[in-house]
Structure formats: C-alpha cells, structure tokens
Amino acid sequence: MAYSLENEGILITVLQRFEIHRLPRIIDIKNLVDQGGVLSDYDIDFLEEVLQDTKQYEPFVEGHAEYRELFARTVHLYNEITSKALENERRAIKR
C-alpha cells in the first residue's frame, strides 16, 4: 500500500500503525522462534507484508535521519526472525 509520507498526517498514522499493531506482533513472532517455534503461514504472510512496507518506505527514510534507526532495527529484526525460523524448521525436519 503506497502512501506519500511527506504528508504529516499519513506519516503519523503509519508510525502509529507500526507501533501499536505491527511491532507487538513482530516481537511475539520473535519470541516464538527464540523458543524453538516454527512460523505459520499467517506469520510468514504478516512478515512479508511488513518487509514490503518497510522497503517501500526506504526512500523516505533516507531523507529523514530521525527514522533511520527504526528502519534499520525493523529490517534487522526481520532478518533475526527469519534466520532463527529457518534454523528451527531444519531442526524440526531432522526429528
């Protein structure tokens, strides 16, 4: 879903959506994989949607230093989750 983040109202809405709805779910998914769990199709779809949105906002972030850390942490968290989930899947298959 493409937005013009130069509009302050849209930017606030996108950030609130991330903070209130997406970040808690991302943290829950990270806790799941950290405990050895595997991702459901729903989890994978959710993470793909978050990553697509995050990539879409990259050009905006490049011009706004105050959002670079949030952007980088989100991408890093995604990488941590997917790496650990893959490790867990491989472990589950070997059982």
Q: Which amino acid is at 70?
A: L
Choice between 4 and 63, residue whose per-residue pLDDT is larger:
63
Highest mean pLDDT among 19-23, 58-62, 79-83: 79-83
Q: What is the pLDDT of residues 7-31, one digit of tens each?
A: 667 777 878 888 888 999 999 999 9
**What is this structure's pTM?**
0.81
Sequence-ordered list of residues with C-beta below 8 angstroms from that of 41, at least 6 positions apart, any chain:
none
Side-chain half-sphere of 29: how many Cα atoms within 13 Å?
Answer: 26
* Alpha-carbon 22 to chain mean position: 7
* Confidence band, pLDDT 50/70/90 cuts, at residue 37: very high
Report the mean per-residue pLDDT for the chain.
Answer: 86
Are the C-beta atoms of residues 16 and 22 closer than 8 Å to each other?
Answer: no
Torsion of CA 50, 46, 30, 28, to 10 degrees: 110
